Structure 1
């Protein structure tokens, strides 16, 4: 007699195979009892390109029940915003009623492609747009507003968005609470129109999490903080600039002081220079931290990416472009720790539970340095390494 295993146990075993497509396929063919768990992992996250869309549509047509297993879908284009998607049928999107996450990568969102996503994916909660092209700002706004259950949106390198006169823009979804703006080239899009649209959100207090990426201009971040800063709980500030931070962040009195409800703050700097005491860009780290004025702040994360002069591998490449990498913990002793220590010791930092430092290499050198030079900070026990 073949021993019987309860479904709870076989499902748990199949869970361990979630990254093994071949084993999941074998499990799906073993017996009906194993089929739901196998499909849950095999089809839970789908990535489609132009040549695989039709095959996936045929699969859904043959087995409509598969649509309930798809929870995350990514449409990816290898070539830069080509028009080839105009010849691809996306009608299968209407069957994906369980999808909660959508990523569009390198997509030209115009014509039939744009219309295919409107009024579909009713359960969508997270939307990520990378290198996507929209003909107008209205098309972009219409896409976001069509997902009424949307909670999170991430936008990077948005292009197109002509400066044509636009009809009134639809409102953002009412449940949206997280906006991530990464590497937007503000001088190539109708920035003021986009920011005014965000400003007209019915209830700005619903936006609790914001991520801003600065390359050349800091003023859009200032506008966003004026809109959402008074109630933001989580803020990530990323600076990726080839110019000096004085010329970028020193404009118009930029400040992080208007964030009274902040609970977590992440500062990520990418500077094409070395992590040495003579580097004036490093002075912005304690300066920005000192601007924070939130008695609720419980976590600060600091990440510094620099030009690693010891890594010569990039010199062998065709363009010899150095890649920025995390600073070593040993090099991070060059930061203005005296000013950082004074800031963390302030009364409005009394709720701080973690000061996370992201770096590479052994942590012992930096840990010993802080313990020796700033014993009060070390004894507080908030320093963590990641």
Structure 2
């Protein structure tokens, strides 16, 4: 037998070590240790170290430029970069000024040929507004297919639009909690350049989220724009959530309805915040439906009514998550919130047992049991209220993230 480990095996070991840690960051410490094992481990370890780069402060940025970008021996590893995350590290203020003082997009143009994902999170662009030509160097990163903009504040919506329209090969776009200042109409017209392309022919995954504290006018503006901008893009995977709830009438609701009408013909995977006043009819090719129930009011009859609108033979999976229990709601003194252990749960059994749903392969409940002794009680409740789903062996319960199948005899 050879006295060395074949490189195929060591490469697999190093790749396994590169898996993200508990909070989602690559395990850079372990990879660095792998690089020190021996000379043959070094190339693969370095390549994995550079697959994902997080820049959250000026020190990190300076190190990347001085020790990697300008290094004859290290710069070649920039070709390994697949994910780049630019975020505001709250412990180090004014990081954005380092991007402005040493323009990142200009310095790194053509240096990241393998870049596929760009994540921008927690940036306050109002301190230094992106130039009207800011999008031009961004468009040089033509390999980017995934863009995530999160928790960021902009000077105006035009700055958001410039970023979103700079990447023609986008296939995955996620925006969450984006806000901007309201400006006068005259100033808005001054800032608005000539029309630009707003069609992404490859876009098939789209995620939009707004929260309780976000201005409704920002959500309305964004939805109106992207509804028109999508053009002929065939969105297959759609996630959207308005965690503050939608008003029963008004411009924001009209914008949501128009947006849904634009995408529903092509969506096969839909993940939405539950709203019983918003019909989901018209999603004619839907295969997977996920409903989030965080702080939702009402009962399961309302949910059954919404599911009735999406009764399709194409639907294979229904996932109901962020479902609370009565015990937790009692602690909050808010028993009107929808909860799993309510007798109206049987309404779902009646709806999902009808002919349009006969091809369902799974109905998953993700329940916050909070206490171990609740699990048996909740299983018994599910068996009693959902007998047909139980009989078909398609009912699943998740407690504390652990998937458990409900067997016919109720054992697990």
Same fold (TM over 0.5): yes
Alignment of 1:201-350 (within 5 A): 201-204=230-233, 206-214=234-242, 215-217=244-246, 219=253, 220-239=255-274, 249-250=276-277, 254-271=278-295, 280=298, 283-306=301-324, 332-334=340-342, 336-350=344-358
1:376 paired residue among 388, 395, 409: 388
Q: Separation in 2 of the partners of 1:131 and 1:5? A: 46
Q: Deviations over 1:84-103 (max 9, x none)?
A: 34334314432122111111
1:195 paired residue among 209, 224, 234: 224
Q: Separation in 2 of the partners of 1:311 and 1:295? A: 36
Q: Separation in 2 of the partners of 1:142 and 1:135? A: 12
Query: Contact 1:100/1:124 (CA < 8 Å) preserved in 2?
Result: yes
Q: Separation in 2 of the partners of 1:72 and 1:33? A: 25
Q: CA deviation at 1:56?
A: 1.1
CA shift in 2, pair 1:161/1:235, >3 Å: farther
Q: Separation in 2 of the partners of 1:96 and 1:367? A: 51
Q: CA deviation at 1:66?
A: 1.4
CA shift in 2, pair 1:117/1:265, >3 Å: farther
Gaps of 5+ in 2: 20-26, 248-252, 399-412
Query: Contact 1:256/1:288 (CA < 8 Å) preserved in 2?
Result: yes
Query: Contact 2:326/2:340 (CA < 8 Å) preserved in 1?
Result: no
Q: Indicate the residue corresponding to 1:275 in structure 2.
A: none
TM-score (norm 1): 0.80
CA shift in 2, pair 1:2/1:67, >3 Å: same
Q: CA deviation at 1:280?
A: 2.8
Q: Separation in 1 of the partners of 2:30 and 2:229? A: 50
Q: Deviations over 1:243-279 (max 9, x none)?
A: xx6xxx53xxx3111111111111002117xxxxxx6
Q: Indicate the residue corresponding to 1:359 in structure 2.
A: 367
CA shift in 2, pair 1:15/1:229, >3 Å: same
CA shift in 2, pair 1:345/1:136, >3 Å: same
Query: Where do 4+ consecutive residues of structure 1 move more than 6 Å?
Result: none
CA shift in 2, pair 1:222/1:258, >3 Å: same
Alignment of 1:153-192 (within 5 A): 153-160=173-180, 162=182, 164-165=188-189, 166=192, 167-183=194-210, 185=214, 187-189=216-218, 191-192=220-221
CA shift in 2, pair 1:168/1:354, >3 Å: same
Q: Deviations over 1:108-147 (max 9, x none)?
A: 4432594486224321111111122333333322322222
Q: Separation in 1 of the partners of 2:14 and 2:96? A: 40
Q: Indicate the residue corresponding to 2:64 in structure 1.
A: 56
Gaps of 5+ in 1: 240-244, 273-278, 314-321
What count of residue pairs does the alignment treat as equivalent?
355
Q: CA deviation at 1:162?
A: 4.6
Q: Indicate the residue corresponding to 2:85 in structure 1.
A: 74
